[in-house]
Structure 1
Amino acid sequence: MIHQYKNNDYNIVLDVNSGMIHVVDDLVYDIIELFEDNDTDTIIAAMMDKYSKPENAAKLEAPININDVIEAIEEIEELKKQGALFSEDIYKEYITDFKKRQTVVKALCLHIAHDCNLACKYCFAEEGEYKGHRELMSYEVGKKALDFLIENSGSRRNLEVDFFGGEPLMNWQVVKDLVAYGREQEKIHNKNFRFTLTTNGVLLNDDIMEFANKEMANIVLSIDGRKDVHDYMRPSRNGKGSYDLIVPKFEKVAESRNQTNYYVRGTFTRNNLDFSEDVLHLADLGFKQISVEPVVSLPEEPYAIREEDLPKIYEEYDKLAKEMIKRKKEGKGFNFFHFMIDLTGGPCVAKRLSGCGSGTEYLAVTPWGDLYPCHQFVGEDEFLLGNVFEGIKNTTCCDEFKLCNVYAKDKCRDCFARFYCSGGCAANSYKFHGKIDDAYDIGCDLQRKRVECAIMIKAAEAE
């Protein structure tokens, strides 16, 4: 399977199955388009006809002759022999065994607080309540959650725990106590906990920063970008904006962590389709690790992204990609999460085929100990898997998540981005289609565009 596109004056050819990427000239690009369905004579005739026309010939450094076409065809044939173009899909056979694979729990999202001190308009967690009631996780429940993770992690040594909410800093003492307990247990069981924290920053102070810098492998700091954009969508419960309060704190966190192992993470909506300006605003504030992601919301919400918004969003991604290339050359580069792509090794096969591992390797824990496939399923009764005291009871649901992969989804099989997005988000599929093995169509469109931009940036860097 081949995907071809042009971006920022680059002719890019992606061989989907091998992951090989080729930046080619116009002639090779055009030949590849015809290569699979036409014989050599037909391709030669088509190329000689096309490049004899003045409007096409004017783009060339030198006129095209038959030998040029033949040489290009031979190069393409050699790349095909090497498995770098038109390669076979080796994963179709692997998927049979993949479905039968044994999985262990390797990560938990601890809902340390079903409560929040902000009232973000797009919050999927209903301002921290998750279709339930406000509650803080007790130390006893959290401790049992870590025990559950250890007991269900098999021989895996590295385990991840994200302190999540609501707003986890509203239950900070329990966070500290659980980190201490985890450090004790990792020595006993030969495990290594990687703790992370997601916060809106309202309660951040120097003591919390000091502890987080010592114990948290990563920190996610929630901010949407420009002051007016952020304050409109992320007000406090009294209606006041939170931008001025959190920005100095976030700047201090980023610097204290040497501009690594953190993200400022925002959400853009229909209210700020010019979101590249928000990304660049965060970069101008000095942040080097940035993620601004599209809101996922049903169409009836006024801020929801709609299909007619896609051209504008594509334009913004292109604009952002070009600006990132420019800034990197100027020594002012930064990372944008959705443009980060590994073209050398990438994730393991299982991750490329099935994504985050929700419902199997990654679970969410409510303040009272209930287990769900991930934080976005919390409160959906049919996805209640069990609890940290008795373990997983709803194994049928887990098996359904295990079967989720790019070959189980009709929309993924012929998509060039399938090994980059791994089939997309099961929660988004459920939200829009009522089942976990479909795909959120607008999300797919945006993912494809982001992959194209990310590859183009790599091409520019290689040049």
Structure 2
Amino acid sequence: MIHQYKNNGYNIVLDVNSGSVHVVDDLVYDIIAIYEDCGQDEIVERLSGRYERDQILEALGEVRQLEEDGLLFTEDTYKDYIIDFKSRPTVVKALCLHIAHDCNLACKYCFAEEGEYHGRRALMSFEVGKKALDFLIANSGSRVHLEVDFFGGEPLMNFDVVRKLVEYGRSQEKIHNKKFRFTLTTNGVLLNDDVMEFANKEMANVVLSVDGRKEVHDRMRPFRNGQGSYDLIMPKFIKMAESRNQTNYYVRGTFTHYNTDFAKDVLSLADMGFKQISVEPVVAPPQEPYAITTEDVPILCEQYDQLAREMIRREKEGRGFNFFHFMIDLTGGPCVAKRLSGCGSGTEYLAVTPWGDFYPCHQFVGQEEFLMGNVDEGIVRTDIRDEFKMCNVYAKDKCRQCFARFYCSGGCAANAYNFNHSITDAYDIGCDLMRKRVECAIMIKAAQAALEEGE
């Protein structure tokens, strides 16, 4: 399977099954477009009005060599790999601990309903959290590295328990030959020097929630009295990022129908000195006024193009920054299982509520049909786990012919379910935006390679 496109002056050819990326001239680009459907004489005839015969034959030889080398028109070797997915032993690698089902903000797009997740406000006790970590250790097999994200609501509303659980986790590492990678997601309201010091010592990554420009952020992320939160949190976030030497953190925002010019929000964060940035599309029911519409998609795709071009310019000027959705690895990338099945929700990754219930991920919390078990009994609904085991790019009709399938790994199961009532479907707007992000990310790699060659 071949995907061809033009972006920012580059002719890019992606061989989907091998992952090979080629930046080619116009002639090779045109040959590849008709190569599988035409013989040599027809290719020469169809292109002779634009190119010399000798040039066409020479370029055709180059394309054939790439095919022989397994870099173009390769066969899909992954299809048979998924057959044993269901029979593979389940190893839990990560937990999302809902340390607080409560929040001190009233974000308008919050899928957690101000931290309540369709239920009651609650804080996780140390006892429940301890059982969750014990479950992770017991169900992680021989895997050494384990991940735990302190999530909410707002996890700093239960910071004492966060401290105690980190201490407990560290105490178990040598005993069980495990190493915990703790992360924290916060809206910043309760962030202070004490929390920063602790986070810089114990948290491998910190996610700081901010939507970009002040007017955009305050519109969607106010306090419950309606007052904006931007002025309070931003000095703290700047200090946090600097205290971590601009690494091992993200400022993470959400853009909506209200700010389809979201590239300005990304750049506003970069202008404030942030080097690790993620601004993502809101996922909301179509009846919500802030929901992204089908009509927004072309506008948003152009924004990604604009952002990619500006990132290249800034990189050349020594003012570069990382944008999460443009970060892809063309040399190796994730393992085959990850390329086929994605985040591992429901199998390798689970969410834990304050009272100890297991769900496939944080976005399924509160949907009782996806309640898998609890920290006392373990996974009771193994049928749910098995269903998620088989949720991969070959189980999804929309993924099979999509060039981006090995980069997005089939997209978000929760989004697919919430929009189409099936985890093996796909959220169409999300797919459109993902394809554009992949194209931009590859183009940036092409530009970086060209810059290095120029040096």
Q: Could you tell me the TM-score, scaled by structure 1's length?
A: 0.97
Task: Tell me how far 1:103 sits from its aligned partner.
Answer: 2.1
Structure 1 partner of 2:12: 12
1:370 aligns with 2:357: yes
Structure 1 partner of 2:382: 395
RMSD of aligned residue pairs (Cα, Å): 0.5
Task: Tell me how far 1:97 sits from its aligned partner.
Answer: 2.1
- Candidates 292, 298, 302, aligned match of 2:289: 302
Mapped partners of 1:163, 1:360: distance in 2 = 19
Mapped partners of 1:5, 1:251: distance in 2 = 38
Task: Tell me how far 1:100 sits from its aligned partner.
Answer: 2.3
- Candidates 143, 157, 173, aligned match of 2:144: 157
Structure 2 partner of 1:328: 315
Task: Tell me how far 1:448 sits from its aligned partner.
Answer: 0.2
- SS of the aligned residue for 1:99 comes to coil
- SS of the aligned residue for 1:408 comes to coil
Mapped partners of 1:95, 1:377: distance in 2 = 24
Q: Deviations over 1:189-240 (max 9, x none)?
A: 1100000000000000000000000000000000000000000000011111
Mapped partners of 1:92, 1:337: distance in 2 = 29
Segments of 4+ moved more than 4 angstroms? none
Structure 1 partner of 2:41: 41
Structure 1 partner of 2:59: 72
Task: Tell me how far 1:102 sits from its aligned partner.
Answer: 1.8
Amino acid aligned to 2:36: E
Structure 2 partner of 1:100: 87
- Candidates 197, 202, 209, aligned match of 2:189: 202
Task: Tell me how far 1:187 sits from its aligned partner.
Answer: 1.4
Structure 2 partner of 1:146: 133
Q: Deviations over 1:84-107 (max 9, x none)?
A: 000010001112123322220000
- 1:242-261 matches, cutoff 5 A: 242-261=229-248
Task: Tell me how far 1:122 sits from its aligned partner.
Answer: 0.2
1:427 aligns with 2:414: yes
- SS of the aligned residue for 1:437 comes to coil
Task: Tell me how far 1:377 sits from its aligned partner.
Answer: 0.3
Structure 2 partner of 1:412: 399
Mapped partners of 2:81, 2:338: distance in 1 = 13
Mapped partners of 1:240, 1:447: distance in 2 = 33
Mapped partners of 1:357, 1:311: distance in 2 = 31
Amino acid aligned to 1:405: N
Structure 1 partner of 2:342: 355
Structure 1 partner of 2:255: 268
Mapped partners of 2:240, 2:90: distance in 1 = 36
- Candidates 99, 122, 131, aligned match of 1:135: 122
Amino acid aligned to 1:397: I
- 1:51-66 matches, cutoff 5 A: 51=50, 64-66=51-53
Mapped partners of 1:92, 1:137: distance in 2 = 42
- SS of the aligned residue for 2:85 comes to helix
Mapped partners of 1:399, 1:159: distance in 2 = 22
Amino acid aligned to 1:311: P
Amino acid aligned to 1:222: S
- 1:181-200 matches, cutoff 5 A: 181-200=168-187
Mapped partners of 1:315, 1:404: distance in 2 = 31
- SS of the aligned residue for 1:278 comes to helix
Aligned length: 450
Mapped partners of 2:86, 2:428: distance in 1 = 25
Mapped partners of 1:317, 1:122: distance in 2 = 22
- SS of the aligned residue for 1:424 comes to coil
1:222 aligns with 2:209: yes
- SS of the aligned residue for 1:100 comes to coil
Mapped partners of 1:415, 1:351: distance in 2 = 17
Q: Deviations over 1:246-282 (max 9, x none)?
A: 0000000100000000000000000000000000000
Mapped partners of 2:136, 2:347: distance in 1 = 12
Structure 1 partner of 2:453: none
Q: Runs of 5+ in structure 2 lacking a partner?
A: 451-455
1:236 aligns with 2:215: no
Amino acid aligned to 1:370: D
Structure 2 partner of 1:29: 29
- Candidates 138, 143, 161, aligned match of 1:174: 161
